[in-house]
Amino acid sequence: MGIESNFAGGSVSITGYPSSAEGAQVDSTQSVTRDSNYTLLDGTALGEGSSGGPVWIETTGGASVVGVVSSESVTNGTGYNNLITTAEFNQIEAWVQQDDATSTPTPTPTPTPTLGLDVLDTTTGQLLLAAAQPYTGPVSGLTSEYITRSEGPATH
């Protein structure tokens, strides 16, 4: 999802996991209004446990988060959702850039052959020892394969 700041209010989707849904995700489409006193989007609460969930809209570029579920009024059921302001948007972008700058990809380890692999020749019934080699990809003419793994000594 993208992020959009300073949403003026209107139709949104709110997603959360309220305790009343017993662990199930709930998506609510509703109309929210911009609170004139705080940086909030007021709507209908999903219920306890939904805090931190996204308040989001569909745009031509895809879904964008415009707020975050925060709390609810126990007296009237109003849901209070933190509005993503320009300052919050800039902070999130700074965190992403910082994370991108400090993250280093984990190198892929090179597999080494494993000795002691038992192979059963089902035609002759003989147990053979083999060294496993990393798969280096496609075998020409192969149309299907069957791979299974078993632990312990082979049985005949």
Q: Quick check: 43 and 14 in contact, CB under 8 A?
A: yes
The residue with greater pLDDT, 44 or 115, is 44
State the average pLDDT over residues 64-88: 91
CATH 2.40.10.10 fits 2-102, yes or no: yes
> Model's pTM, two decimal places?
0.62
Instruction: Give the whole-angstrom CA distance, residue 136 versus residue 4.
Output: 45
State how far the alpha carbon of 135 is from the alpha carbons of 82, 138, 139, in Å. Answer: 51, 8, 10
The CA distances from residue 105 to 12, 76, 108, 110, in Å, are 36, 49, 9, 15
**What's the confidence (pLDDT) of residue 156?**
43
Gyration radius (Cα) of the chain, Å: 28
Percentage of the chain lying above the pLDDT 70 cut: 75
pLDDT, tens digit, 9 for 90 and up, residues 21-44: 988 999 999 999 999 999 999 998
Residue type, 7: F
Asked if residue 11 lies in contact with residue 22, where contact means CB atoms within 8 angstroms, the answer is: no
| Cβ-based burial of 16 (10 A; exposed 0-12, middle 13-18, buried ≥19) | buried
- Phi–psi pair at 77, nearest 5 degrees: 75, 10
Average pLDDT rounded to a whole number, residues 31-58: 92
The tokens for 81 are 């959702």
Query: In the predicted model, is pLDDT for residue 15 greater than 90?
Result: yes
Phi, psi (degrees; rounded to nearest 5) at 87:
-60, -45
The full set of domain ranges for the chain reads 2-102
State mean pLDDT over 9-25. 92
